[in-house]
C-alpha cells in the first residue's frame, strides 16, 4: 500500500506541469558550497580583525599645517614635535596631542560680546584695570597677537602644560600694562597715547622673548581704548573748553591786529601817495625854476656891450619915429642911460594929469 502511494506521488510529481504533457516545470535553485578550507577562513578572519583593529585602536594620526603633534610614550613627552603629515603610533602605549601654532588673539575689552568675538584662536578677557600715578583706576582695552613657537612646542608643553597661554601671555601683558600706566597721571594718558602704546609693545616683547627656549612668539599689540574715571573725563573736558576759549581769544586778538595793520597800511599808502605827489610838484617847480635861471644865465651871458649899443640904437630910432608922428609926446630917460625907454602922449588929458 505504501509502495503504491509512493509511486502515485512520484508519477504526480513527474507529470505535474508538463513533461510530455506540455506542463510548466519550476527551475531548481543552485547549490552553494559553504565548505571552505581552514586556511582561507583564517585569512578572512585575520583581515577582518585588522580592519576592526584600525577602526578601534587608530594607530596613526594626521597633523595639518598650522599644527604640531606632541608625542607621549607611556606618559613621557618626546623632545621633538611631530611635523604636519601622517604619523603611525603604537596604540595604548603612545598618544599624540595636537597643539595649534597659528596666530592667536586675546581681546581685553569690557563691551565685546563673547559669543560674537570668540572663535578659532580668539579669546576675550575683561579690560585690564590698573592705577595711574596718583592711584586713580584706569581701564585699558587692547588686543594682543602671538603664537606658539613651533620649534620648541614640545618643551613648552612639557614645561608649561597646555594652559601655557594663561601662564606666559596673560600675566606678562597685565604686568607690563600696570607698570607703564603707573608712570602717568590719568589726565595725561590721552595726549601720550602713542608713547604709551610703544612702551607697552616693547615691554611685552622683551618679557615674552626673554623666556627660556622662547616658548611663544610675540606678534603685535594694539592699544584700542583708554577708559578714564568720570571725574577725570569731566576735568579734561573743562580744560579743553578753557583751551578753546583761550584759542578763540587769541584768534580775536590776531584778527584785531590784522585789521589794525591793514588800516595802518592803507593810511601809510595814502600818506605816501600825498608825499609823492607833493615831492612831484616840488620837483616840477624846482625844475622849472632851474630852467628859468639857466635861461636867464644864458641871456645875461649873451648881452655884450656892442649888442646893448645896437639895441639902444634900435630903440632910439623907434622913439624918433614916434616923435615925428606925435610932437606933443614927452620922453622920460632912465637914470644912467642915454636911451629913452618911456614916452607919453601928451594929447591924452588923463596921461597929462597923471604926469603933472
**Spatial distance between the Cα atoms of 187 and 195, rounded to a whole number of angstroms:** 15
Is it the case that residue 5 has pLDDT exceeding 80? no
Is it the case that residue 47 has pLDDT exceeding 50? yes
Give residue 342's pLDDT band: very low, low, confident or very high (50, 70, 90): low
CA distances from 81 to 19, 92, 98, 211 (A): 81, 19, 10, 19
Is it the case that residue 356 has pLDDT exceeding 60? no
Question: For 106-119, how does the pLDDT look when each residue is reduced to its tens digit (9 = 90+)?
Answer: 999 987 655 555 66
Per-residue confidence (pLDDT) for residue 329, from 0 to 100: 63
Q: What is the pTM of this model?
A: 0.54
| Percent of all residues in the chain with a pLDDT value above 90, rounded to a whole number | 28
- Length in residues, the chain: 356
Question: For 209-218, how does the pLDDT look when each residue is reduced to its tens digit (9 = 90+)?
Answer: 888 888 999 9
Please classify residue 127 by burial: count the beta carbons closer than 10 Å to its beta carbon, then call 0-12 exposed, 13-18 middle and 19+ buried. Answer: buried
| Set of cell numbers at residue 117 | 568675538
Q: What are phi and psi of 189, to 5 degrees?
A: -65, -45
- Comparing 6-15, 121-130, 226-235, 336-345, the range with the smallest average pLDDT is 6-15
**Spatial distance between the Cα atoms of 44 and 325, rounded to a whole number of angstroms:** 181
Is it the case that residue 258 has pLDDT exceeding 70? yes
Q: Which helix (H) or strand (E) is 142 found in, with range?
A: strand 137-148
Highest mean pLDDT among 12-21, 286-295, 319-328, 343-352: 286-295
Phi-psi label, residue 225: left if phi above 0, alpha if psi -120 to 50, beta otherwise: beta
| Set of cell numbers at residue 177 | 600694562
| Set of cell numbers at residue 5 | 502511494
**Spatial distance between the Cα atoms of 350 and 202, rounded to a whole number of angstroms:** 123
Average pLDDT in the 71-100 region? 88
Average pLDDT in the 238-257 region? 82
Question: For 147-197, how does the pLDDT look when each residue is reduced to its tens digit (9 = 90+)?
Answer: 999 999 999 998 899 999 999 999 999 999 999 999 999 888 998 999 999
DSSP codes of every residue in 166-179 = HHHHHHHHHHHHHH
Amino acid at each position: 500500500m505504501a509502495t503504491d502511494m509512493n509511486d502515485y506521488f512520484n508519477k504526480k510529481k513527474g507529470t505535474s506541469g508538463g513533461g510530455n504533457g506540455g506542463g510548466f516545470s519550476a527551475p531548481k535553485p543552485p547549490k552553494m558550497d559553504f565548505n571552505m578550507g581552514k586556511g582561507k577562513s583564517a585569512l578572512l578572519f585575520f583581515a577582518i580583525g585588522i580592519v576592526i583593529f584600525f577602526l578601534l585602536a587608530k594607530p596613526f594620526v594626521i597633523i595639518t599645517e598650522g599644527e604640531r603633534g606632541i608625542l607621549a610614550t607611556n606618559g613621557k613627552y618626546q623632545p621633538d614635535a611631530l611635523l604636519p603629515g601622517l604619523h603611525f603610533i603604537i596604540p595604548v602605549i603612545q598618544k599624540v596631542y595636537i597643539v595649534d601654532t597659528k596666530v592667536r588673539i586675546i581681546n581685553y575689552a569690557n563691551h565685546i560680546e563673547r559669543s560674537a568675538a570668540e572663535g578659532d584662536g580668539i579669546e576675550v578677557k575683561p579690560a585690564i584695570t590698573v592705577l595711574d600715578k596718583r592711584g586713580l583706576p584706569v581701564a585699558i582695552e587692547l588686543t594682543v597677537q602671538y603664537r606658539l613657537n613651533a620649534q620648541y612646542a614640545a618643551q613648552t608643553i612639557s614645561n608649561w602644560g597646555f594652559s601655557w597661554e594663561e601662564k606666559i601671555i596673560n600675566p606678562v601683558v597685565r604686568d607690563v600694562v600696570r607698570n607703564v600706566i603707573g608712570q602717568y597721571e590719568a589726565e595725561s594718558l590721552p595726549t601720550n597715547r602713542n608713547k604709551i602704546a610703544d612702551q607697552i609693545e616693547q615691554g611685552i616683547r622683551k618679557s615674552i622673548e626673554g623666556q627660556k627656549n622662547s616658548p611663544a612668539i610675540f606678534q603685535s599689540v594694539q592699544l584700542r581704548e583708554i577708559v578714564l574715571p568720570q571725574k577725570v573725563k569731566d576735568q579734561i573736558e573743562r580744560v579743553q573748553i578753557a583751551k578753546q576759549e583761550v584759542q578763540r581769544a587769541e584768534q580775536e586778538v590776531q584778527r584785531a591786529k590784522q585789521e589794525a595793520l591793514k588800516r595802518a597800511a592803507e593810511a601809510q599808502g595814502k600818506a605816501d601817495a600825498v608825499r609823492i605827489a607833493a615831492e612831484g610838484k616840488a620837483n616840477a617847480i624846482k625844475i622849472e625854476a632851474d630852467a628859468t635861471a639857466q635861461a636867464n644865465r644864458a641871456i645875461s651871458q649873451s648881452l655884450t656891450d656892442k649888442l646893448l649899443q645896437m639895441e639902444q640904437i634900435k630903440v632910439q630910432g623907434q622913439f624918433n619915429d614916434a616923435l615925428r608922428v606925435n610932437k606933443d609926446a614927452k620922453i622920460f630917460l632912465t637914470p644912467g642911460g642915454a636911451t629913452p625907454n618911456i614916452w607919453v602922449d601928451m594929447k591924452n588929458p588923463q596921461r597929462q594929469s597923471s604926469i603933472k
